[in-house]
Amino acid sequence: MSHIITLIDITPAGEIANTAAQLLSAAARLGTPVAVAAVRAEITNNRQLVARISEHLGTLGAEQVYLVASEHVGVIMHWPQLEALATAATTLAASGVLLCNSIEGREIAGRLAVRLGGTLLVDALDVRQDNDRIVATHSIFGGSYLVDAAVTGKPAILTLRQSTADETPVVQHPVATINILDTDVAGAHSAVIEAFHAVEAGADRPDLRGARAVVSGGRGMQSREQFALVEQLAAALGAAVGASRAAVDAGFAEQTTQVGQTGVTVSPELYVALGISGAIQHRAGMQTASTIVAINTDANAPIFDIADFGIVGDVFAVVPQLIAAIAARDSAA
């Protein structure tokens, strides 16, 4: 069976990104899964850490692991990952490469497709093998269409939309074969990273992408201070926080929380829209949620057209009562 390469993110402390499971189980459906990561030499020189990484990736289904040590990790944008993938893909004559459809992942995928002369499909919801070609399902125009596309050229380079949906059980490899390579690339042409400022992850709040529940606030939240009510309901529901573009523009919420056409696409079990009118571009990012709840003072707000439960009312009256009702149920249970 042919090799399918996945790009795995590993933190300097040796933690494996939570997207690894999704990538490796998708790879298992297409061939023999291989995990590739670009790391600094501090990691490859640490035998214990290497053993732990290979064991962890092995249990996620990786048959082989390529750790590519590069001084450029965290210093030159994309370059080490690109070198690592290109090296592994060429060495193994891989038929496919899977990456996470993050900003980094898709950009690296694009460059790799150019480098390897492969074919690129981005933002696949699902991938499968169909005779000797790979078929990917995509959601287009905010979930209005589902499209299956096949890749005939090789290698196939695909990015997968992040999801926590049930992963195919994989064959575990208690000891994945480890290959440690060094890259010493001259002539890297990419931006230099001078500083990194991590997003302040709300304590134990789930990630917006892949969250089971999302509570979003719009311009109707009035101010940054009052936007705190969105966070309180999110905390009560164990939900991620989202925002409309108007709320982001007004400075109520961070740009990374924007849901919609030009923001994040979410598909949670529950989506709660607070003070959001439901413009077509906002709906494009959330209309595939299983259950939609909307609270808006304007009875004609378009968000009600797609809401399973709509309340014409003031968020500042309804939401505190909802939070209290949830707390009462929790303590009764």
Residues of the shown chain interacting with ligand FAD in the complex, contacts defined by CB under 6 A: 218-220, 244-247, 258-263, 275-277, 279, 281-282, 285, 295-298, 301, 314-316
Task: Please choose which of another protein, ligand FAD, none residue 153 contacts, taking the beta carbon within 5 to 8 angstroms, the exact cut-off set by kind.
Answer: another protein
Nearest CA-CA partner of 74 in 192, 198, 185, 201? 192
Q: Report the nearest approach of ligand FAD to the CB of residue 179 (Å).
A: 42
Q: 14 or 302: whose CB is closer to ligand FAD? A: 302
Q: Report the nearest approach of ligand FAD to the CB of residue 145 (Å).
A: 18
* 130-151 as b/e: b if 16+ CB within 10 A: eeeebbbebbeebbeeeeeeeb
At 152 the three-state DSSP class reads coil
Please spell the DSSP secondary structure of 22-80, one letter per residue.
Answer: HHHHHHHHHSEEEEEEEE-HHHHT-HHHHHHHHHHHHHTT-SEEEEEE-TTTTTBSSHH
Computed over its alpha carbons, how large is the radius of gyration of the chain? 22
Q: 115 or 205: whose CB is closer to another protein? A: 115
Task: Please choose which of another protein, ligand FAD, none residue 220 contacts, taking the beta carbon within 5 to 8 angstroms, the exact cut-off set by kind.
Answer: ligand FAD
Task: Please choose which of another protein, ligand FAD, none residue 296 contacts, taking the beta carbon within 5 to 8 angstroms, the exact cut-off set by kind.
Answer: ligand FAD
Task: Please choose which of another protein, ligand FAD, none residue 247 contacts, taking the beta carbon within 5 to 8 angstroms, the exact cut-off set by kind.
Answer: ligand FAD
Q: Report the nearest approach of another protein to the CB of residue 53 (Å).
A: 19
Q: 49 or 306: whose CB is closer to another protein? A: 306
Q: Report the nearest approach of ligand FAD to the CB of residue 265 (Å).
A: 9
Cis peptide before 302 (omega within 30 of 0): no
Q: Report the nearest approach of another protein to the CB of residue 208 (Å).
A: 9
Task: Give 250-313 as a 3 state SS string.
Answer: CCCCCHHHEECCCCECCCCCEEEEECCCCCHHHHCCCCCCCEEEEEECCCCCHHHHHCCEEEEC
Query: Two tokens at 80?
Result: 């080490």
Q: 57 or 86: whose CB is closer to another protein? A: 86
Q: Report the nearest approach of another protein to the CB of residue 313 (Å).
A: 3
Helix H or strand E segment including 214: strand 213-217
Contacts of 48 (CB under 8 A, 6+ apart): none
Residue 12 burial (CB < 10 Å; 0-12/13-18/19+)? exposed
Task: Please choose which of ligand FAD, another protein, none residue 179 contacts, taking the beta carbon within 5 to 8 angstroms, the exact cut-off set by kind.
Answer: none
Task: Please choose which of ligand FAD, another protein, none residue 29 contacts, taking the beta carbon within 5 to 8 angstroms, the exact cut-off set by kind.
Answer: none
Q: 59 or 261: whose CB is closer to ligand FAD? A: 261
Task: Please choose which of another protein, ligand FAD, none residue 77 contacts, taking the beta carbon within 5 to 8 angstroms, the exact cut-off set by kind.
Answer: another protein
Q: Report the nearest approach of another protein to the CB of residue 64 (Å).
A: 26
Q: 99 or 319: whose CB is closer to ligand FAD? A: 319
